[in-house]
Chain A
Amino acid sequence: MTRELLKGNVAMAEAAIRAGVDAYFGYPITPQSELLEWMSKRMPEEGRAFLQAESEVAAINMVYGAACTGARVMTSTSGPGISLMAEGISYIAGTEVPAVIVDVMRGGPGLGNIAPSQGDYRQVIHGAGHGDFFPLVLAPASVQEAVDLISEAFDLAEKYRTVVFVVADGSIGQMMEPVTLPPMRERKRARPEWAVGGAKGRAPRRLTSLYLKPEVEERVNLRILRRWREAEAHEVRYRGYHLDDAAYVVIGFGTAGRVALSAVRAARSEGIRVGLFRPVSLRPFPTQAIRQLASQAKAFLVVEMNGGQMLEDVQAAAQGQVPIRFYGRMGGMVPFPDEVLAEIKALAAAPPSPADDPRGRWLAQMAQA
């Protein structure tokens, strides 16, 4: 198969088209706009629906409407847009219909900036919206991985009748890398058994997120939760590098994980037995795998482009079995491999005590920098 040099946003858009997306609705926002622009050109060429909405609120409701008809549908945005979509996402989850949402994260909170960030972690793992539900959240660390995850995202969304987020930080959206795109998939699929589309000859179907009787809503909540447990059992994804003999484990996702890998390799060449664990599914979170590592390693180093949002999940997974050091850059700053290398060396030289507060230690360190 041929490899092409593509910008992350464009590659994700084309991957969605190859995965058979029927409809795209979105609103421009940096650093995601090339995805929308590619869709605006390519979707009509393929005879599919593209619409630039008047806002993210409109876009997610268009997604909601299309999803109820059983169409493969997606949107893409960046943090401020996810905030606006929150209500719609909750309705989609409550109605138990599938949708794919790409979040190309930028610096925040507020208007922030357009530099790469991982600040939306907490927001997306809870699906941004209100109520009891979990979306699946996938985090690529390269353009190729973004393509692969987008291709899978639609199947997962349909399998679990839920929202699947693909969270790429701004650098994945903006950078150019050689990628192999999947072949164009056949779009004809049987309409899902829950989708609405005319009830001729059969009993009408009803899609709703409104259950006035609490006992009925509770049953729906339990159904959603059971489906989520299935996803937890089957859809955990992660990548490990140099972990076999690792005394120290660096944990990072997306671009932070990618930067950390360079640092891990450099540390290895200096004789430090260190490996990298990179969560690919942020929900379901690879809790068991991390717990296992925690029982073997001397210490963890968590690296993120935020103030330690995933750190809390790592701490919960590690159950205090292993001391943890944290290193984060915030506000659109991307750590350099050298910075992470220095952190690995510091970790190996003097592992923290299990009683340490990793975020507090890091904050003190940042105050001196």
Chain B
Amino acid sequence: MAKTNALGLSIKDYKGAPTTLCQGCGHNSIISQIISAVFEENLPPEGVVKFSGIGCSSKAPTYMLGRSFGFNGLHGRMPSLATGALFGDLSLIGIGMSGDGDSAAIGMGQFKHIIRRNMPLVYIVANNGVYGLTKGQFSPTSDRGMKLKKQGVNPFEPVDICMEALASNATFVARSFAGDPKQVKTLIKAAMHHNGTAVLDIISPCVSFNNQPTSTQSYEWGKQHEVLLHEMQFHPNAKEIQLNGAMQPGEVREVTMHDGSVLVLKQVERDYDPTDRFAAIRALEEAKQKHILLTGLLYIDPERPSLPDLYELPDDLPLNRFPEERLRPAPETIKTLNDLMF
């Protein structure tokens, strides 16, 4: 008998169509972790809605959560599509999958503005430093000095997705590595419980166009240079927290999410406070200087109001299922309005 979750569903209920991405593509590993995270969190697949733009990464919705609704949007416009769609049904958990070209080139404006508005969305950038789908051109996150057979050498400094997110006042910023599936999964779980835009910049090697060991987006480089900010455990229900053997109090930090779930962070090299923006910016700068792949939860602000909070939108009922009585102003309100006008 296949293992089932609290809803009595098996992992099969969370799968999508078989992948057509290249074997070994980092995006495949991210997709698997999304599937596991939603399964393990006992979320009904119908309660999740998938979004993407265009790119190999943006094909992800086809290969996961076949029972969830999905929107495949325009190149770079996933954040706007998600904003519009989620307004219709705020009860859904939005998971967006985009690429470095999709989010840091054509869609940079959209990327920044969904963050600025703090619309609840798990925003994954599957970052391979190249345009995979159009067969290998430079992307805004390509390493300076990266060589491509058809295009020569990239002369430009790369965009740092996490830095851009921080600069836009993101309330959840993490970096991870497709070669570290456990961490990817934990971060996705936490992101699904975040009340705002959760940006996950996941280094996701493109085995066809950018996996040479010198590339900071390759498997080999990532494996050799990954440094953890912390080890993580996610507890959807705070009452159940049991620090397992390796985690002793004193070395850990707990971050309580907006919905009461808790993320436990165990110190690795040094104590790191993910609620400190300065620390996050410093950590990113240092990682760049030291030439390391620093992964983990860089920054979180669990309490900043989200867009629906600011708009005071009701969260008990999706807007697209609002009954007429609640849409129509009360008779007294109409009367006041009429009195004001005439």
Contact = CB atoms under 8 A, between A and B. Distances in A.
Interface of A: 27-30, 33, 36-37, 40-41, 44, 52, 54-57, 80, 111
A28 B142 CA distance: 15
A52 B138 contact: yes
Nearest to A84: B106
B131 interface: yes
Contact of A55 (B72, B106, B133, B134): B106
A40 B151 CA distance: 6
Nearest to A45: B152
22 contacts: A27-B106, A28-B131, A28-B134, A28-B137, A30-B133, A33-B134, A36-B137, A37-B137, A40-B150, A40-B151, A41-B150, A41-B151, A41-B152, A52-B138, A54-B105, A54-B140, A55-B76, A56-B106, A57-B106, A80-B74, A80-B75, A111-B72
Contacts of A54: 105-106, 108, 140
A146 B138 CA distance: 27
Nearest to A55: B106
Contacts of A29: 134
B134 to A, nearest CB: 4
Given A111-B72, A111-B74, A37 B151 contact: yes
Interface residues of B, number: 18
B152 A55 contact: no
A33 B135 contact: yes
A56 B77 CA distance: 14
A315 to B, nearest CB: 34
Contact of A44 (B105, B108, B140, B152): B152
Interface string B67-93: 000001011100000000000000000
Interface string B52-79: 0010000000000000000010111000
Contacts of B133: 30
Prevailing SS type, chain B contact patch: loop
A29 B134 CA distance: 6
Contact of B54 (A37, A41, A44, A111): A111
Contacts of A52: 137-138, 151
Given A41-B152, A54-B106, A33 B54 contact: no
Interface in B137-190: 137-138, 140, 150-152
Contacts of B75: 80
Contacts of B152: 40-41, 44
Contacts of B76: 55
B108 A33 contact: no
Contacts of A41: 150-152
A30 B138 CA distance: 15
Contacts of B151: 37, 40-41, 52
Contact of B134 (A30, A44, A56): A30
B105 A55 contact: yes
Nearest to A81: B75
A341 B334 CA distance: 69
A140 B68 CA distance: 45
Contacts of A33: 134-135, 137
Contacts of B74: 80, 111
A197 to B, nearest CB: 26
Contacts of A55: 76, 105-106
A202 B184 CA distance: 64
- The 7 A-B pairs at the shortest CB distance, nearest first, are namely A55-B106, A28-B134, A54-B105, A37-B150, A40-B151, A28-B137, A33-B134
A27 to B, nearest CB: 7
Contacts of A37: 137, 150-151
Name the residue in B108, B133, B134, B140 with the highest tally of chain A Cβ atoms < 10 Å from its Cβ.
B134
A7 to B, nearest CB: 12
A49 to B, nearest CB: 13
B119 to A, nearest CB: 22
Contacts of B135: 30, 33
Contacts of B72: 111
A27 B133 CA distance: 13
B57 to A, nearest CB: 15
A27 B131 CA distance: 11
A41 B134 CA distance: 17
Nearest to B138: A52
A41 B150 CA distance: 7
Nearest to B72: A111
Contacts of B106: 27, 54-57
Contacts of B150: 37, 40-41
Contacts of A44: 152
B248 to A, nearest CB: 48
Interface string B256-270: 000000000000000
Nearest to A83: B74
